[in-house]
Every structure is written in C-alpha cells, then in structure tokens.
Amino acid sequence: MRRLAFMTLLLITACGNSAPNTPPANSPPAANQEHVKPPEDSKRKEARRLFDEAEALSVAGDNSAAADKLERAIALSPTDGEIHARLGHVYIKLLRYDDARGALLLAIKLVEGEPRRQLEFLASWCSYTHATELFQGQQHDKALNELRTALELQPDNTDARRLVGQIHSANGRYDEATRAYAILCAQTTGDVHHSALRDMGEAQFRDGKYRAAIETFTKLIDLNAEGYEAYGWRGYCHVQVGDRQRAVSDFTQAVQRTSSPERRADYDEKLRQLAQVDEGE
C-alpha cells in the first residue's frame, strides 16, 4: 500500500513539472534558437550586399545601375545614412542635382559630426546647381526656393548668395538684390568682393538710389580694382544727381581705363554731351 501511494505521488509530480514545458512536435531544438536571424537583420545584410554591388558598378562607370541598386538597398534599410549619402553622390554623377539634394538631406538626418558637415556642404552645392538650371529656364521662384535651402545648409555659400542677387535684379527687385550683394560683400575678399561691390552699385543705380551707388563705386575705386567699370558707373550716377564736373572727371578716367570699345564710345559720347551743356551755359 505504501509502495502504491509512493508511485502515485511520483506520477503526479512528474506530470505537473513536465507537461507545461513540453515543446511542440515541430519546434527546433532549443540550442539552435539563438542562431535564427531576425528578419530585419536579413534585410540589412541584403542592403549592404546591394551597396557593395553599387560601389563596384559606380567605379565601373555604370551609375544608372548603381543608383537602382542603392534605391533597392534603401527600401530594405531606410535608416542607413551611408546608403543615402552614396546615392546622393551617384545622382550627382548622373547630373540629377534635385534628386541628389533630396538623398543628401535624408543622409544628413542620420549622421553626425564631420560627415554631416561634409554632406551639408555637398547638399548646398546641389541646391545651388539646381537653382542655376531653374534660373536659366526662367523658373525664378523655384530657383529662389532652392537657394534658400542652399543658404540654410551653408550660409557662406557665396555662389548661392550672388545668384539670389542676380535673380532679384532680373525681376526688378533691386532693393532685395542690394541686400543680397551687401551680405556677399561682407563675406568675401578679393575679386569676389570687387564683383559684389560692382553688382551692388549697379542695383542701387537701377533702383534710383544714385548717392548710395556713388558711395559703393567709390569703395571699389579706393580698392584700386580694375576691370569693373567703376569710374564709368560713378560717372552715370553723377550725371543723375546733376554733378557735371565730377561726371566729366569720372568719364575721362573711364575712357582711359576701359578695355571695351563699346563702353569707350559711350563714355566719349557722354563727355561730348556734357561739353555741349557747358557751352550752352
């Protein structure tokens, strides 16, 4: 009787401890569970494989195929900043600057430090280049939107700043053009600075702000900058404010300094007209 009770107790205990832990008939051995890769790991691995293939294709000069590989890689691993950045570089090689800027902006969100700064520089350049295309296609508002992006990414992008001034001038918004050129003057030195002064003075002249333009062209003359027609422009300004004596002096200098036959002829004509006015008085 004692033996029967003891065997019954063992049976109950065994059933209670083992039944909940009994694996399903089709489950893999427990020791192999840790070697099963999650689906996301497989996607990332495939994305990196496509990335490597794209690198080889780009080196071989087949950037269209490389872009296709990278686009597929991004679909598998959308948070991999390196893939976005590489796609941006490939788009640049394909002259797809708008798409390149988009890819680089996504990459910027995913990286930090010096790589991020380099991508910001490149994305700003892409925006400027695309803006140039839009400007040449007479899509001025879209070009300005691109330039805003370029300058947000890189405030000292002098090419973008100059193009802002050129677009505003082309549309008769000389006050806004003057502001853009003033910023450019503050950011630059040398020939770029001289060109910015010349462009700002011209915008002021066309805006009817002749005395402000005189000050701007005087700065350019004081820098001994040659080739910017500063004396000629200042002469036109002096005519507009009624200062004939200074106009004659400036046009005389302009005739001697210009390398343009057309401008020299115009300056000579202005001198002739001023001389006639003086004779009439």
Q: What is the pLDDT of residue 19?
A: 41
Q: What is the pLDDT of residue 253?
A: 98
Q: What is the pLDDT of residue 23?
A: 39
Q: What is the pLDDT of residue 41?
A: 87
Q: What is the pLDDT of residue 145?
A: 98
Q: What is the pLDDT of residue 280?
A: 58
Rounded CA gap, 220 and 193, in Å?
Answer: 9
Q: What is the pLDDT of residue 10?
A: 38
Residues of the chain with pLDDT under 50: 1-36
Q: What is the pLDDT of residue 165?
A: 99
Q: Domains in the chain and their CATH numbers? A: 44-132 (1.25.40.10)
26-51 pLDDT, tens digit per residue, is 444 444 444 445 567 899 999 999 99
